[in-house]
């Protein structure tokens, strides 16, 4: 998948059953987290690569060391 600038693609809502307790789950792009038992699948099972930190336009600036020299 080509990486570019601009908004990230809208994730698709996908459904599965919890592998631990069987609850019907909705997730995004194949990534699930069960609110009943706490199960979640591995991030690599997602349908798309996860965005990197630099892809987040709202990312906070790097923390500044208050003891550092100005
Ligand atoms: Zn569960």
Cα of 33 vs centre of ligand 1, distance in Å, is 8
CA angle 63, 67, 70 (to 5 degrees): 80
Tens of pLDDT, residue by residue, the chain (70 residues): 555 566 667 889 999 999 999 999 999 999 999 999 999 999 999 998 887 888 888 888 878 888 876 6
Alpha carbons 36 and 25: distance in angstroms, whole number: 10
Q: Is 53 left (phi over 0), alpha (psi -120 to 50) or beta?
A: alpha
Cα of 31 vs centre of ligand 1, distance in Å, is 13
Cα of 17 vs centre of ligand 1, distance in Å, is 8
Tokens representing 40 are: 């979640």
E strand or H helix that includes residue 53: none
């Amino acid at each position: 998948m080509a990486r570019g600038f601009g908004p990230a693609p809208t994730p698709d809502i996908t459904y599965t059953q919890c592998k631990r307790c069987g609850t019907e789950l909705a997730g995004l792009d194949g990534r699930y987290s069960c609110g009943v038992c706490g199960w979640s699948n591995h991030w690599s099972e997602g349908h798309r690569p996860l965005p990197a930190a630099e892809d987040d336009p709202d990312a906070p600036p790097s923390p500044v060391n208050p003891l550092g020299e100005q």
